[in-house]
Amino acid sequence: MGAYIEGRDVNLTFRPPSRAPVPALRHFDIDVNEGEFLSIVGPSGCGKSTFLNVLLGLLTPDAGALSVDGKRITGPGTDRAMVFQEFGLLPWRTVQANVELGLELKRMPTPARKDISRRLIRMVGLAGFETHYPHELSGGMKQRVGLARALATDPDVLLMDEPFAALDAQTRDLMQVELLRIWQETRKTVLFVTHQIDEAIYLSDRVMVMTRRPGQAKRMFTVDLPRPRDYEMRVTRAFNDLKLEIWNALKDEITV
Please state whether beta strands 206-210 and 37-41 pair in parallel, antiparallel, or not at all (unpaired). Answer: parallel
User: What does the alpha-carbon distance between residue 130 and residue 124 come to, in Å, rounded to a whole number?
Assistant: 12
**Residue pLDDT, tens place only, 147-184:** 899 888 889 999 999 988 888 888 888 889 888 988 99
Band of pLDDT at residue 254, cut at 50, 70 and 90: confident
User: What does the alpha-carbon distance between residue 182 and residue 177 come to, in Å, rounded to a whole number?
Assistant: 9
Band of pLDDT at residue 127, cut at 50, 70 and 90: very high
pLDDT at 102: 85
CATH 3.40.50.300 fits 1-79+157-256, yes or no: yes
Residue 1 has pLDDT above 60, yes or no: no
pLDDT at 108: 85
**Residue pLDDT, tens place only, 175-230:** 898 889 889 988 999 999 999 999 999 999 999 999 999 999 999 999 999 998 88
**Residue pLDDT, tens place only, 242-252:** 999 999 999 98
User: What does the alpha-carbon distance between residue 107 and residue 42 come to, in Å, rounded to a whole number?
Assistant: 39
pLDDT at 256: 55
**Residue pLDDT, tens place only, 27-40:** 999 999 999 999 99
Average model confidence (pLDDT) across the chain: 91
Residue 87 has pLDDT above 70, yes or no: no
User: What does the alpha-carbon distance between residue 134 and residue 97 come to, in Å, rounded to a whole number?
Assistant: 11
User: What does the alpha-carbon distance between residue 41 and residue 6 come to, in Å, rounded to a whole number?
Assistant: 18
The residues spanned by each domain of the chain are 1-79+157-256, 86-154
pLDDT at 97: 93
Residue 11 has pLDDT above 90, yes or no: yes
pLDDT at 166: 81
Three-state secondary structure readout of 174-205: HHHHHHHHHHHHHCCEEEEECCCHHHHHHHCC
pLDDT at 171: 85
pLDDT at 37: 97
Q: Mean per-residue pLDDT for 10-26?
A: 92
pLDDT at 143: 87
